[in-house]
Amino acid sequence: MRIGVFICHCGSNIAGTVDCAKVAAIARSWPDVVYAVDPMYTCAEPGQAAIEAAIHEHKLDGVVVASCSPRMHEPTFRRTVERAGLNRYMFEMANIREHVSWIGKDMEANTNKAAELVRLAVEKLRHDVPLTAKQFDVTKRVLVIGGGVAGIQAALDCAEGGVPVVLVEREATIGGKMAKLDKTFPTVDCSACILGPKMVDVAQHPNITLYACAEVEEVSGYVGNFTVKIRKRATYVDWNKCTGCGACTEKCPSKKTPDAFNEATGTTTAITIAFPQAIPKKAVINPQYCRQLTKGKCGVCAKICPTGAIMYDMQDEIVTEEVGSIVAATGYDLMDWTVYKEYGGGTYPDVITSLQYERLMSASGPTGGHIVRPSDGREPKNIVFVQCVGSRDKSVGRPYCSGFCCMYTAKQAILTKDHIPDSQSYVFYMDIRAPGKMYDEFTRRAMEEYGTEYIRGRVSHIYPDGNGRLTVMGVDTLLGRQVEIKADLVVLAVGIEASRGAPQLAEKLRISYDNHGFFMESHVKLKPVETNTAGVFLAGVCQGAKDIPASVAQGSAAAAKVLGLFAKDKLESDPQIAQVDIQRCVACGKCLRCCPFGAIKGTEFRGEPKVQVIETVCQGCGLCTSTCPQGAIQLQHSTDNQILAEVNALCQC
Amino acid sequence: MNVAYYPGCSAKGSSKDYEISTQAVCRALNITLEEIPGWNCCGSTPAHAVDTELSAALCARNLDIAASQGAKLLLTPCPSCLSNLRAASQRMEKPEFRQRVNELLDTPAAETFPEVLSVMQGIAMQLDKENLALRVKKTLKGLRLAAYYGCLMSRPADRMRFEDPENPQLMEDLLTACGAEMVDFPLKTACCGAAFGIPERAMTARNSGRILELAARLDVDAVITACPLCQMNLDLRQTQAGRALNTRFHMPVVYFTQMLGLALGLPRKQLGLNKLAVSADKLLGKLDDPRLADAEGGQQS
């Protein structure tokens, strides 16, 4: 075998603490290595051309590149060797950047470790055989999880691209958090008016199947061929019959049901349609408050319903959908701000969240768009906005910035002045973060045109002053002074957290999530929409704090990824997977039990029971190969012999 | 229950009433307070603000004496002493810190110190609400009170170990068991201005004024304290506080031990009520008024 070795400098990233020329010189002494050099940037166009030239010139039949993590550039170099006529799997990579140069400063030790890692790669390559990828069919349908604005955008773009979409929404209506907003920054246009038509498009698009009141129960399969089980929660209303006329909601006697859509600023009926523009516009019964379901007597809605849609005995239903790709767009929830006892911990009615304030300002909200104090219904004059409640606060485990609160607080201050011209708004802030297009101008408008008083500092204490108002005590860090404001209403800009159940969904999808439950993108800069699981993409706040434009952009980006994936009729599977030596297999079944992907099935060979690997399902994790007592299953390109050869090469005395 | 007792400097001067009422109440509840022989000042704010090792050394000496007497538990009435003693115990768990502190002491401190609690926590540990209620001889029914812990009693949370540092309930529990009506007092852990009464008198007057103003607005009969400095600022400086807010207060500021003593039926002379700057006579009169004591559920606002 004739092997070529390329020890990359990566500028000074590697060469700064590794003697690359020395590693190349050492490599020349190893068996089968006929060529070893240390280029400056191996991945650059001249670097790749040099690999191709060396393959031709030195008649190489295998290449080792020692550089960065294979995560980014293994596919790059596989393509390079393939262009020069080699099998793309006759290539090995040694990571001497993340595993060596970035983590140690000792030049000599680093150089030795780099040489050893390259030695392992060479030894592995010596035992590699050419492999060929198998092709498999793709189910050209996509599942979008979450019907907020990001999911809606992804669903519509995919549907427009000709791909059938299954959209799953946990709540009774799509629209997400955006549907609850009164206006949007920085244009102060009506949220429902710009989102509403998109929601209608979802309902009317022939390529979109919408499951509301539904959650993903189970996901199996792999890119191109996922099988998804969806739990449709019992709504106690047959949506095929329900026309959304709302007669039931008018007559329902259980009128003290907390109104989730209105963020508990008001009450609703036990049978309800979330809001006038709800999609689907169907009634849902809240079983905790329905008199028929809790006490067994009422039945008013069943009597009143003109289409006979009420079904008190409805059960959850599981539907199964086959899709080739999945977009997660599960959004966010507000953190539990009641941990802030200094703000009353939720005991003062006139201390509310910003989302509750949106509902108070919204014409479809519980007050018909009139800003009033929840305690006594009076119009507030002094309104204090407190930013960063549960953002950038390590003491409550929320060290990150929620991103959009500075902007919506400015918007709410502007709208407050529009609603109540003789009102005065105060905003306590840490820093104003307004980096978007027209954003800083917008916050300046709140200050300069609308007279909002911005106070840089935190609020230490909010308490009722005994006269029906609230005393807000804080600090003005610019003046170095304590501040005390008498407020009629306090609005907390409560920070966000990952949507309820996000980590559990991530595990079903086999994607990573961070300490706070936000889903991890494949690469922070270059793969912001992809995940580490092929075929699963991200859109919106489920990946991290984002405002509406960014969520919409990522929804479209995820759709582009799905359409790109589906542009191919067949996908290629990685051939570095488990393979059964049929003669050695004794059909003990241990591999069947340990495989986490269900990639092994029983078969028969000349009348004997045996097992077989389903090539497109196997992920090459290697669990079965280390479990097999016979050594009958071998992972291609990580065979027992290869690993032993590496150990032997490393353990020479 | 025999416990070591660290009175703190104030007990011998500005808060004699807290001291004698603490002694009387503990005696009545069978808590035997054994004063640490030859105790010294905990160093208070001047020590810990400048040098934590000096502060720890001053506290360690007291803890060491208590430990050598075989004490497992040490009570102190003053939140500032409590904070310093507990901080010293916590910091001495680090070997390097312990070593540096030991260098400041004549002899190295004992390896283990007694557990330090406030007198309030000690009383609550000795008997729960139900048992305290059984000991009440003179119900506080009819009195409407505001519990004021001050900023130090419950904070920092991990050091002082009150259930909720922003909204402690221990004093309310004790006094409710005695029959008093406790209002929800949002400023219960606000700062009175503390030692700034000397360098920044206006600030202390403003802070104390805010507390007294809310108490007056909530129409309470007294503010109940557990801290010598809080009591002094709210009581002795009440005229200053009133002036800062362009008003006059007549708000008795009473130690919780004095209230407990009243409820336990102890002789009033043993409770030091005559030491209060703002007279508690009206409050006592209310307590003696049989019509109020018999009124169902106490006074409503």
Same domain, A80 and A208: no
Listed in sequence order, the DSSP H helices in A84-164 are 107-126, 149-160
Q: Each residue of B191-216: pLDDT tens digit?
A: 999 989 899 999 999 999 999 999 99
Torsions phi, psi for B194 (to 5 deg): 45, -135
Mean pLDDT of B31-48: 94
- What is the sign of the dihedral through the CA atoms of A180, A184, A189 and A195? negative
- Domain final position from A443, A477, A497: A497
Q: Percentage of chain A surpassing pLDDT 70?
A: 100
Question: Would you kindly state where each structural domain of chain B is located, as residue ranges?
Answer: 2-120, 138-296
State the DSSP code for B106.
Answer: S
On whether both A355 and A426 belong to a single domain, the answer is yes
Residue type, A274: A
B163 touches chain A (CB under 8 A): no
Residue contact B167–A345, C-beta within 8 A: yes
A465 touches chain B (CB under 8 A): yes
Q: What's the confidence (pLDDT) of residue B299?
A: 41
Can you give the pLDDT at residue B297?
43
The answer to whether residue A339 neighbours chain B at the CB level (below 8 Å) is: no
Q: Which 8-state DSSP code applies to residue B109? A: P
* pLDDT value, residue A145: 98
Do A492 and A349 belong together in one domain?
yes
Average pLDDT over residues A222-238: 95
Over residues A140-162, the mean pLDDT reads 98
Is A309 a member of any domain? no
Do the chains contact at A345 and B218, CB–CB below 8 Å?
no
The answer to whether residue B292 scores a pLDDT higher than 90 is: no
Give the gap in angstroms from C-alpha B183 to the nearest C-alpha of chain A.
11
> Span A104-121, mean pLDDT?
96
Judged by a CB distance cut-off of 8 A, whether residue B13 touches chain A is: no
- Same domain membership, residue A356 and residue A402: yes
A463 interfaces chain B, CB cutoff of 8 Å:
yes
Q: Which of B167, B206, B212 to mutate to test the interface with A (most CBs of A within 10 A)?
A: B167
- Closest to B217 (Cβ–Cβ): which among A341, A342, A467? A467
Size of interface A-B (CB pairs under 8 A): 21
Pair (A256, A344) in one structural domain = no
**Which residues are CB-contacts of A298 (< 8 A; sequence separation ≥ 6)?**
A253, A254, A290, A291, A292
Instruction: For residue B95, give every residue at least 6 positions away whose Cβ sits within 8 Å of its Cβ, in sequence order, or none.
Output: none
Domain presence at residue A435: yes
Number of residues that this document lists for chain B: 301
> A466: which chain B residues are within 8 Å (Cβ-Cβ)?
214, 217-218
Statement to judge: residues A89 and A69 lie in one domain: yes
Residue A167 confidence class, pLDDT cut points 50, 70, 90: very high
Residue B224 has pLDDT above 80, yes or no: yes
* Sign of the CA dihedral running A8, A9, A10, A14: positive
Residues of chain B in contact with residue A341, where contact means CB-CB under 8 angstroms, are: 164-167
Query: Quick one: pLDDT band at residue B298, thresholds 50, 70, 90?
Result: very low
pLDDT of B301 reads: 37
Q: State the pLDDT at residue A77.
A: 97
Contact A155, A540 (CB under 8 A): no
Query: In this predicted structure, what is the pLDDT of residue B296?
Result: 43
Q: Which residue of A has its CA nearest to B216?
A: A466
**What 3-state class would DSSP assign to B297?**
coil
Report how many domains make up chain A: 5
Query: Is A136 contained in some domain?
Result: no
CATH topology of domain B2-120: Glutathione S-transferase Yfyf (Class Pi); Chain A, domain 2 (1.20.1050)
In a domain, A421, yes or no: yes
Helices B256-263 and B16-28 meet at what angle, rounded to 10?
Answer: 40
Span A125-148, average pLDDT: 95
Q: A467 contacts in B (CB within 8 Å)? A: 217
Banded pLDDT at B98 (limits 50, 70, 90): very high
The yes-or-no answer to whether B2-120 and B138-296 have a common fold is no
- Coil vs helix vs strand at A472: strand
User: pLDDT tens digit string along B246-287?
Assistant: 999 999 999 999 999 999 999 999 999 999 999 999 999 998
Strands (E), A186-274: 189-190, 208-211, 214-222, 225-232, 257-258, 267-268, 271-272
Task: Identify which of B7, B17, B16 has the alpha carbon closest to the alpha carbon of residue B37.
Answer: B7
Considering only the beta carbons, identify the residue of A461, A465, A466 that sits closest to B190.
A461
Same domain, A206 and A292: no
pLDDT greater than 70 at residue A513? yes
Q: For position A598, what pLDDT does the model report?
A: 83
Residue B166 and residue A342: Cβ atoms within 8 Å? Answer: yes
pLDDT digits (tens, 9 = 90+) for A296-305: 999 999 999 9
Closest to B118 (Cα-Cα) out of B65, B55, B73, B71:
B73
Say if the Cβ atoms of B186 and A467 lie within 8 Å.
Answer: no
Chain mean position to CA B153? 8
Does any CB of chain B come closer than 8 Å to the CB of residue A239?
no
What pLDDT shows up at residue B294? 53
> pLDDT category, A653, cuts 50, 70, 90?
low
Q: What is the DSSP string of A270-332?
A: SEE-SSTT-SS---EE-TTT-HHHHHS---HHHHH-TT--B-TT---EEEEEEESEEEE---E
Residues A320 and A350 in one domain: no
Is residue A647 a part of any domain in this protein? no
Is A341 close to B164, i.e. CB distance below 8 A?
yes
B218 reaches A (C-beta below 8 A): yes
CATH class of B138-296: alpha beta
In the predicted model, what is the mean pLDDT of residues A460-466? 94
Question: Model confidence over A392-437: pLDDT tens digits?
Answer: 999 999 999 999 999 999 999 999 999 999 999 999 999 999 999 9
* Residue A133, in any domain of the structure: no
| pLDDT score recorded for residue A597 | 80
pLDDT at B92 over 90: yes
Range of the domain at A11: 3-126
Of A341, A464, A465, the CB nearest to B167: A341
Contact A344, A337 (CB under 8 A): no
Give the pLDDT mean for A598-602. 90
Nearest CA-CA distance, residue A309 and chain B, Å:
50
User: Which pLDDT tens digit goes with each residue over A370-382?
Assistant: 999 999 999 999 9
In a domain, A241, yes or no: no
Q: Does B186 touch chain A (CB under 8 A)?
A: yes
Over chain B, what is the mean pLDDT?
Answer: 93
Q: Please determine, for residue B293, whether its predicted confidence score (pLDDT) is greater than 80.
A: no
Same domain, A350 and A387: yes
* Same domain for A372 and A457: yes
A246 close to A283: Cβ distance less than 8 angstroms: yes
Q: How confident is the model at residue A593 (pLDDT cuts 50, 70, 90)?
A: very high
The residues with which B75 forms a beta bridge, in sequence order, are B5, B117
The answer to whether B187 contacts chain A (CB < 8 Å) is yes
* A476 and A370 fall within a common domain: yes
Average pLDDT over residues A263-279: 93
CATH of the domain at A41: 3.40.50
Q: Give a yes or no: residue A161 inside a domain.
A: yes
β-bridge partners, B86: none
Share of chain B above pLDDT 70, in %: 96
Q: Residues A188-228: pLDDT tens digits?
A: 999 999 999 999 999 999 999 999 999 999 998 889 999 99
Query: Given a cut of 90, is residue B295 above it in pLDDT?
Result: no
Q: Would you list the DSSP string of B226-289?
A: --HHHHHHHHTTHHHHHHHTTS-----EEEHHHHHHHHTT--GGGGTGGG-SS--HHHHHHHH-
| Whether residues A361 and A473 fall in one domain | yes
